[in-house]
C-alpha cells in the first residue's frame, strides 16, 4: 500500500479490475490501522456522488478496536478515471469483484476474523445485494446501513411507470442523461464553502451531484426490485436513519436537521426485507449521511453504534443459524455465487416507535430486544416538508 491522499496514517491500494467498454477499470481500498492489533475490521462503502473523506468515522472505529477500511468503488472518487462516466454502471452486480477482493484482502491478507460492512445510501443497497449473494461464503459478520437507498424518492404511483421508462431508455441510450433540475440543498448543507462544516473534493462529490444516466437508473431500479422481493442476509443488520425528510428544492434550515435526499419512510418500510435479524435506529436531527449531521447527532449515532457492535460485532458472535447444509455451499474466496435465496413471505413493515433501537420483526420470528435499554429516545416521523420532488441518492 502507498500513502493515501488523506495522508498518514491512511494508506491506499489500487485494485485492478477487468476493463469494460470505456477502458481500464480500478477500485481503491483505503486502510487505517487501529492503535492496537485487532482481529476486527470495518469496511465503509460510500453512496452515489460520493467517496471516502469522513476521517472522523475512522476515528470512531479505530478508537473502538476496529481496523478501518473504505472502498471507493469503480468510477467513484479515487477510482474515477478521465475516460469514464462518473458513477456509471449498467448493473449493480458490476461491483461484486471489488467487494469480493476487498473482503479477501481484509480477511486473508490482513488476517481479520470479524468484518463489519458499513454502507451509506446507494452503498447500502449495493452491499446488501452483495451480502445476500455471497452469504454462503461467510464474508460478512455484521452490517450497518446509514440512511440506505431502499426506494426512489418519487410518488409511489410513479415508481412502476418510471421503472418501465428507465429500462426502455437504458436499452436505447444507456449513457443518455436524465433531464432534471439540480438538487443543491444537500450539498449546500454539507460543504464548508456554503452552509456546512465539511471540506471535501467537489470534483468527486459535486454540490448538485453527477448527471443521472439512464443505464445507471435502470440498474438501481433492478436492484431495488430485488430488495423488495426479500433478501436472506443471515447476519445482524443495523439500519439507521433520520426521523424526518425534507423535500424542498430551495434552502431551508430544516435541511440541517433532516434527510434532504431520500424519504426515511421508505427505509423503515423496506428494512425487514433484508433478513431475519434487523435492528432499526431512528435519530432526531439526522441528515442524509448521519455521520455528517450536527455534532450532538453524530455523537448519539456513534454511541448507539458502539452499543450495537459490542453486542453483534465483538469478535465472538453468537452461534449463527446454519447457512448451508453440511458439505454444500461455496468456500470463502471462490467467488462463485450461490443460487437465489428463498426470502420469507409477507414480512411485517417496521414502523417508528418511541424506543431508541428495536429489532425489526420479520416473517417467521419475533424481534429480539435491543442490546441496550438506555439509548437516547426515538421519535416518530413527522410528515415530509416542502414541495415534493425526487432527490438524488448519495
* pLDDT of the residue at 385: 41
* pLDDT of the residue at 248: 85
* pLDDT of the residue at 109: 96
- Domain at 2-322+339-360, CATH from 3.40.50.300, 3.90.550.10, 3.40.50.1820, 1.10.1740.10: 3.40.50.1820
* pLDDT of the residue at 91: 96
* pLDDT of the residue at 391: 46
Cα(79)–Cα(25) distance, rounded to whole angstroms? Answer: 8
Residues with pLDDT less than 50, the chain = 316-356, 362-392
* pLDDT of the residue at 315: 72
Angle between helix axes 122-133 and 96-104 (nearest 10 degrees) is 70
141-185: pLDDT as tens digits: 999 999 999 998 876 766 677 777 777 877 888 999 987 656 689
In 10 A of CB 129, how many CB atoms?
Answer: 22
In 10 A of CB 394, how many CB atoms?
Answer: 27
* pLDDT of the residue at 357: 59
Report how far apart, in Å, the C-alpha atoms of 267 and of each of 70, 303, 314 are: 23, 21, 26
* pLDDT of the residue at 183: 62
Cα(315)–Cα(319) distance, rounded to whole angstroms? Answer: 12
Alpha helices, DSSP H, located in the chain:
55-63, 96-104, 122-133, 156-172, 185-190, 214-229, 264-270, 295-312
Sheet with 278-283, edge to edge strand ranges: 2-3, 11-20, 23-32, 67-72, 40-45, 114-120, 142-146, 237-242, 278-283, 357-360
* pLDDT of the residue at 323: 37
174-200: pLDDT as tens digits: 999 987 656 689 999 999 999 999 999
E strands in 128-204: 142-146
Cα(166)–Cα(215) distance, rounded to whole angstroms? Answer: 8
Residue tagged 478508537 (cell numbers)? 63
The SS3 of residue 107 is helix
Amino acid at each position: 500500500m502507498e500513502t493515501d491522499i488523506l495522508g498518514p496514517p491512511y494508506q491506499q491500494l489500487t485494485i485492478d479490475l477487468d476493463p469494460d467498454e470505456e477502458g481500464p477499470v480500478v477500485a481503491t481500498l483505503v486502510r487505517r490501522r487501529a492503535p492496537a492489533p485487532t482481529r476486527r475490521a470495518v469496511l465503509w462503502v460510500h453512496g452515489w456522488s460520493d467517496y471516502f473523506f469522513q476521517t472522523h468515522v475512522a476515528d470512531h472505529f479505530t478508537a473502538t478496536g476496529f481496523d478501518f477500511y473504505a472502498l471507493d468503488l469503480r468510477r467513484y472518487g479515487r477510482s474515477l478515471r478521465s475516460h469514464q462516466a462518473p458513477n456509471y454502471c449498467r448493473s449493480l452486480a458490476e461491483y461484486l469483484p471489488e467487494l469480493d477482493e476487498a473482503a479477501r484482502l481484509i480477511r486473508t491478507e490482513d488476517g481479520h476474523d470479524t468484518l463489519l460492512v458499513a454502507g451509506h445510501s446507494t452503498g447500502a443497497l449495493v452491499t446488501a445485494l452483495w451480502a445476500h449473494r455471497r452469504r454462503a461464503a461467510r464474508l460478512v459478520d455484521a452490517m450497518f446501513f446509514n440512511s440506505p437507498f431502499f426506494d426512489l424518492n418519487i410518488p409511489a404511483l410513479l415508481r412502476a411507470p418510471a421503472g418501465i421508462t428507465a429500462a426502455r431508455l437504458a436499452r436505447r441510450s444507456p449513457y443518455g442523461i436524465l433531464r432534471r433540475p439540480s438538487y443543491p440543498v444537500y450539498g449546500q448543507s454539507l460543504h464548508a464553502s456554503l452552509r456546512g462544516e465539511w471540506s471535501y473534493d467537489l470534483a468527486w462529490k459535486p454540490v448538485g451531484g453527477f448527471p443521472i444516466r439512464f443505464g445507471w437508473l435502470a440498474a438501481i431500479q433492478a436492484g431495488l426490485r430485488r430488495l423488495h422481493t426479500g433478501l436472506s442476509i443471515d447476519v445482524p443488520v443495523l439500519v439507521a436513519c433520520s426521523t424526518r425528510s425534507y423535500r424542498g428544492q430551495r434552502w431551508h434550515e430544516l435541511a440541517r436537521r433532516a434527510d434532504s435526499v431520500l424519504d426515511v419512510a421508505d427505509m423503515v418500510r423496506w428494512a425487514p426485507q433484508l433478513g431475519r435479524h434487523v435492528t432499526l435506529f431512528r435519530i432526531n436531527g439526522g441528515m442524509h449521511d448521519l455521520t455528517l449531521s450536527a455534532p450532538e447527532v453524530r455523537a448519539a449515532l456513534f454511541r448507539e453504534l458502539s452499543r450495537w457492535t459490542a453486542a453483534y460485532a465483538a469478535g465472538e458472535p453468537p452461534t449463527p443459524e446454519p447457512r448451508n447444509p453440511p458439505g454444500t455451499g461455496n468456500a470463502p474466496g471462490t467467488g462463485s455465487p450461490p443460487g437465489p435465496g428463498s426470502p420469507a413471505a409477507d414480512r411485517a413493515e417496521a414502523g417508528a416507535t418511541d424506543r431508541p433501537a428495536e429489532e425489526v420483526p420479520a416473517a417467521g420470528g419475533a424481534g429480539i430486544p435491543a442490546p441496550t435499554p438506555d439509548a437516547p429516545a426515538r421519535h416518530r416521523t413527522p410528515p415530509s416538508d416542502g414541495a415534493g420532488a425526487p432527490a438524488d441518492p448519495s
